[in-house]
Structure 1
Amino acid sequence: MNRLFFRFFILVMLSISVAAFIVYFTINRLFGDPLEAIARRQAAAQIFLLEQYVDQAPADEWLDRLNKIREVSDVRIDLVPLAIARKSLPEQERDAFERGEVVIDIPHKALFRRVDLAGDKYIGSNEEAIHAQDLPIDIGVALQVEAVRYLIVALALLIPIGFWSRSHWKGLQVLMRVADKFGAGQLKARAQMQPGDSIYPLAERINHMADRIETLLESQRSLLHSVSHEIRTPIARLEFAFELLYDTVQRDQVLQMRIGGMQGDLIELKSLVNELLGMARMDSDAPLRYETFDVTEALRSCANSLPPSPVSLDVAVPDGMGTYYGDQRLLQRATGNLLRNAQKYANAKVALSATRKLGGVTIVVEDDGPGIPESEREKVFEPFYRLDRSRDRSTGGFGLGLSIASKAVNLHGGALKVDTSPLGGARFTITLPAA
């Protein structure tokens, strides 16, 4: 946000500077160089002496009067050949010089003027020019005055613009904080502004958008929650009925096998409902239950709670990793989901490791399985998404484990990413920021 207004300030300053140059060149084009006018005013005394004292002398006395000016003035006055004078002047000034006008040489604090155009006024002067040096010309003060003038103009523009921009900046800061809260899951966050505020219409539209999003999410969560709870009741009745039915057909092994298969389907359906309820709770306004817990103990507990598996589990969680402030239940669930996912696809080995750095925690789960193609690494965190090789019943699951893990980590302000493990399979890395 500050960058936006800094760029605006730079743009205003550049515009004022460009305007100053445009004003200077426009005046120079229409009315002549203003700096030359200033220099001519500063050298007005010497020009007056030449035009009113030397020029008024008789034809044979002008040189005497010029010498008298040399004696009483600090200005150095010389007679130079026309060729030298013409060579010293820029091309755009030579026409004025040839017409007999006084030409100011500002950089050298000097002036040139022909003594006599036709040689009929001053004796022996038609091939000479007066060159006056060390004139009291100082345009630095004039430039400082102009700079102060433009600075006052700039301040006169920038101060009102600053007050006007400040209201916009404060309003945008409010909207940015609301957006951060809303993105963090605080769906009740709204921008509180007065109708007279500059960006009130934008805030109102953002509030309306937030109301609509909150309504849609609430409807989705309510539907998911209600449907899941409604399904639980018939599932419980079916479980009870299957138990009774299984006991009544003890002698019919074929029927027992079919009932066992149906019980497996029912257990799978029950697990799906539990997963959906878990996701619904994570989408609530305040899903986290913060507490301080021991990181080493929590991670080792995840490893110990895994179901039996033919693959080996290498746990490299050092002692004394300290404590972390967060939702222990959610973080253990995220780590457990990653470990169970690794067990499904590993050939022989699963590894769990963790490090602590600058208050944050990094948890790595990797396996030696087939890995995840790079094109599908972002999709595996989507709900119900499963890779083609995991769509059969042998692997189980509903495609919710990784989605739940990602959401649990994101709620803590962390990140979950997947890449290739040195073991040959997939490597999932949980990065939790300092609490």
Structure 2
Amino acid sequence: MRRLFVHFYIFIILAVIGLGWSLEHILREEEPSMPVWMPPFASLLSAQVPHMSHPNQLAEQLNETVIAMPLSAVAWPEPELQRLATGEAIALFNSRQQIYFYLLAQHQPEAELWRIGPIGQPVDKPTYWYHLLAFALLILLATLWVWPLARDLLKIERHLGKLPQQTQQPLRLPKRSMVSSLADSMNAMRKQIQHLLGLQRELTRAVSHDLRTPLTRMKFTLALLTEKKHQDALSADVIEMEQMVETLLDYAKLEGQEKLLQRSKVNMNELCVNLVDKLNSMPGPQVQLHMSGYISCLCDGHYIERALQNLIQNARVFANEKVDVWVIKKKNHVIMHVDDDGPGIAEDDHAYILQPFVRLDPSREKAHGGQGLGLTIVARIAEWHQADLSIHTSPLGGARFTFTLPA
């Protein structure tokens, strides 16, 4: 960042100096050409002034303005002072290309300077294009400075959009780039993130794989048991561990699946009716579906069905008697509410419950075979679809999970 500031300040200094020097040369007026009548007129003035005692006499004769002023009123160089001392008339142009003649009247008690003029029509040059030129040059210089910076920042933005991809090459920027240090830091961060993601996947797969070995031994021991009481207890543990392994493997497979989404126009009426019928055929509280009219949505139907299934199954686990599912179409969104009449969820636990392996009531959820990953999977699917998952208090008294999906 320090390098960027230094580069910016140097650019400002050089731009101001360069523009000032350039415009000074561009706007510098060319020396106007001397009219052919000027030398004879100057000679005439030099000859007549010594015979006049007052400027008004010369003004009446020439029909021009003549005023007297001290010699010190003009900062004359030494050569011009010598020319004035010899009685020579000196001609000067003003900014409007009018001519003034200066002579030294030495016959006065004190030598005074007479100025004749201005002579000639004033010439007004338009100056607005000078300002336009200054603005245009400043914009051009600023563009030349900003363009490489904007180009490199765009490269970084595109690179960040592809950060999760393992096959991505490190971002390479020229060493002279003002944000090369930012690119280096981003590459280091990318390596660390990918390393951590790899460790997470390897850990999940290793744990799931290693759990299969004791499961196999437990199944073998279960087959050798003869007492019904021990057999039932061990069978329940085996089923729970199998469900845990399958859930862990399922969660691990979700990593990197976002790019495999197959979006299409999905009939939400058909999807919800089939899902509710399937779940109502299983033991547990019955699910009531509420929806009206035809509702469709552009999404991946497989993952949306899975998210809704996880929400309904979670509601059935904690519901006392009733689970309601509402599917509503509002403008450009499809809103799905899943309500239950269970104990509900404290507001402080709303964000916490969406994290992996979180169970607010482990003893109760263990009895229903939960592993604390169902809502995490729903949150991941919502993230893939740029949807919103929120938790509120249900009108039934329990928890309400709201899945808002862009239509």
TM-score tier by shorter-chain length is 0.5 to 0.7
1:235 pairs with one of 196, 203, 215: 215
TM-score by length of 2: 0.66
The match for 2:55 is: 62
Tell me, what secondary structure is at the counterpart of 1:383?
coil
* CA distance in 1 between partners of 2:375 and 2:155 (Å): 35
* CA distance in 1 between partners of 2:121 and 2:348 (Å): 80
Partner amino acid, structure 1, of 2:244: L
2:167 pairs with one of 180, 185, 188: 188
2:145 pairs with one of 161, 177, 180: 161
Q: Is the 8 A contact 1:338 1:402 kept in 2?
A: yes
Q: Is the 8 A contact 2:162 2:168 kept in 1?
A: yes
Residue 23 of structure 1 deviates from its aligned partner by 8.2
For the pair 1:271 / 2:243, whether they are aligned, the reply is yes
The match for 2:272 is: 299
Partner amino acid, structure 2, of 1:161: W
For the pair 1:392 / 2:356, whether they are aligned, the reply is no
The match for 1:175 is: 156
Partner amino acid, structure 2, of 1:238: M
* CA distance in 1 between partners of 2:388 and 2:354 (Å): 12
* CA distance in 2 between partners of 1:273 and 1:58 (Å): 124
For the pair 1:249 / 2:224, whether they are aligned, the reply is no
Q: Which runs of 5+ in 2 are unaligned?
A: 76-92
Tell me, what secondary structure is at the counterpart of 2:162?
helix
TM-score by length of 1: 0.62
Tell me, what secondary structure is at the counterpart of 2:284?
coil
Q: Which runs of 5+ in 1 are unaligned?
A: 28-34, 72-76, 80-95, 251-255
Q: Is the 8 A contact 2:55 2:66 kept in 1?
A: no
* CA distance in 2 between partners of 1:14 and 1:358 (Å): 51
1:362 pairs with one of 335, 343, 352: 335
2:290 pairs with one of 316, 319, 344: 316
Residue 276 of structure 1 deviates from its aligned partner by 0.8
- In structure 2, relative to structure 1, the CA distance for the partners of 1:17 and 1:196 (3 Å cut) is closer
Q: Is the 8 A contact 2:19 2:137 kept in 1?
A: no
Residue 335 of structure 1 deviates from its aligned partner by 1.3
1:101-159 CA distance string (max 9 Å, x none): 59x9999x9x9x9xx9xx9579xx9xxx9997997263643x6447636744764x456
Residue 367 of structure 1 deviates from its aligned partner by 3.5
Tell me, what secondary structure is at the counterpart of 1:417?
strand
2:382 pairs with one of 395, 399, 409: 409
1:218-250 CA distance string (max 9 Å, x none): 3432332233133234325524643663xx335
* CA distance in 2 between partners of 1:137 and 1:380 (Å): 83
Tell me, what secondary structure is at the counterpart of 2:363?
coil
- In structure 2, relative to structure 1, the CA distance for the partners of 1:140 and 1:371 (3 Å cut) is farther
* CA distance in 1 between partners of 2:109 and 2:186 (Å): 88
TM-align CA RMSD = 5.4
Partner amino acid, structure 1, of 2:252: A
For the pair 1:283 / 2:255, whether they are aligned, the reply is yes
Tell me, what secondary structure is at the counterpart of 1:305?
helix
- In structure 2, relative to structure 1, the CA distance for the partners of 1:69 and 1:427 (3 Å cut) is farther
- In structure 2, relative to structure 1, the CA distance for the partners of 1:57 and 1:365 (3 Å cut) is farther
1:218 pairs with one of 172, 194, 198: 198
Count how many residue pairs are aligned between Structure 1 and Structure 2. 373
Q: Is the 8 A contact 1:224 1:280 kept in 2?
A: yes
Moved more, 332-341 or 143-152: 143-152
* CA distance in 2 between partners of 1:354 and 1:105 (Å): 85
Tell me, what secondary structure is at the counterpart of 1:393?
helix
* CA distance in 2 between partners of 1:315 and 1:14 (Å): 67
* CA distance in 1 between partners of 2:326 and 2:9 (Å): 52
Partner amino acid, structure 1, of 2:133: V
- In structure 2, relative to structure 1, the CA distance for the partners of 1:229 and 1:363 (3 Å cut) is same
Residue 336 of structure 1 deviates from its aligned partner by 1.6
The match for 2:122 is: 136
* CA distance in 1 between partners of 2:57 and 2:202 (Å): 111
Residue 282 of structure 1 deviates from its aligned partner by 0.6
Residue 296 of structure 1 deviates from its aligned partner by 2.0
Once the two structures are superposed, the pairs formed by residues 57-96 of structure 1 within 5 Å of their partners are: 58-70=51-63
